[in-house]
Amino acid sequence: MAAPDATAAAVFTLQGNLFISAQIERIFAQKAREQSDKSYGLAKGENLKNKIATAYNICVAEWRDFKAQMERTDLSAEERAASVERFAVRLFQNGLGYNEPSAVGSITLADSTDPDTQLVYPVKYVIYQTSAQAKGMEKLPLVVVPPVTDNNERSDLDTKLTSCAVIDVETQRAAGEKKRSPTGLLQRLLNVAADYKWGFAFNGYALAA
pLDDT, tens digit (0-9, with 9 covering 90-100), for 106-136:
999 999 888 899 999 999 999 998 866 656 7
What does DSSP say about strands 118-121 and 167-168: parallel, antiparallel, or unpaired? Answer: antiparallel
Q: For residue 15, tell me if it sits in a domain.
A: no
- Judge whether residue 15 has pLDDT over 70: no
pLDDT, tens digit (0-9, with 9 covering 90-100), for 60-94:
999 999 999 999 999 999 999 999 999 999 999 99
Q: For residue 27, tell me if it sits in a domain.
A: no
Q: For residue 31, tell me if it sits in a domain.
A: no
Host domain of residue 69: 36-208
Cβ-based neighbour number of residue 80 at 10 Å: 15
Distance between CA atoms of residues 191 and 174, nearest Å:
18
| pLDDT value, residue 148 | 80
Single-letter code of the amino acid located at 62? E
pTM, two decimals, is 0.84
The number of distinct structural domains making up the chain is 1
- Judge whether residue 149 has pLDDT over 80: no
Q: For residue 2, tell me if it sits in a domain.
A: no
Distance between CA atoms of residues 104 and 112, nearest Å:
21
Residue 42 phi, psi dihedral angles, 5° rounding: -75, 150
